[in-house]
Amino acid sequence: MRLPGRGAAMLLMTFDTEESRDKLSYLYKTFRRPLLRAISRFVSDSHLAEDIVEQAFIIADKHLEKLDVNNPSATYGYLWRIVDSQYKDYFRRTRREPSLDEIMETNEETGSDFGEGNPLEEIIRMERIDIVREALGELPESERRVLELFFVSEMKYHEIGELLKIPTSSVGVKIMRAKEHLKRILVRKGLTE
């Protein structure tokens, strides 16, 4: 079997057995696109998104025994945690917050005084995003997973039901409960009422 993608040859070279190669090939074909869709919601650079996902599969190769191809929900969750960790690590290493002076210069270049480009509004927006990410991290794994599948991976109810092995009719209820829980956390953090 041949893995598609830019890092495929490198991935194939890391296998000890044909069984492990076939297992990762199956996982790659099954989960690569959903993971790319999910991370692309956070990363606008498609090459960076591809690199993050491929790095996740390189890491997964070292832990193939933990991945059960018969449990796609757990496998997707495990792979997503690796992708999310790679994303956070990348931005921790490379992230440099723009200084207030840089924001002001950008604001002057665009000729904007208020609204989009307003430095204070931009700072508030970035803080809100951080609060929402933190709140998502406080959700139980099952609730966070269903929200990620629906909002980040943009999966349909029946797809989520198949992946999580639950009735499609239960998916909407799980999403609603997870959103309510997230809202309670955001209220507690003072982000919403």
Q: What is the pLDDT of residues 74-123, one digit of tens each?
A: 888 889 888 988 887 787 777 554 445 544 554 454 444 444 556 777 77
Residues 46 and 50: their CA atoms lie apart, in Å, by 6
Residues 193 and 183: their CA atoms lie apart, in Å, by 9
pLDDT of 49-76, one tens digit each? Answer: 999 999 998 888 888 888 888 888 888 8
For the CA atoms of 78, 84, 90, 92, what is the dihedral angle to 10 degrees? -120
The pLDDT, as a whole number, for residue 101 is 53
Q: Are 178 and 114 in contact (CB under 8 A)?
A: no
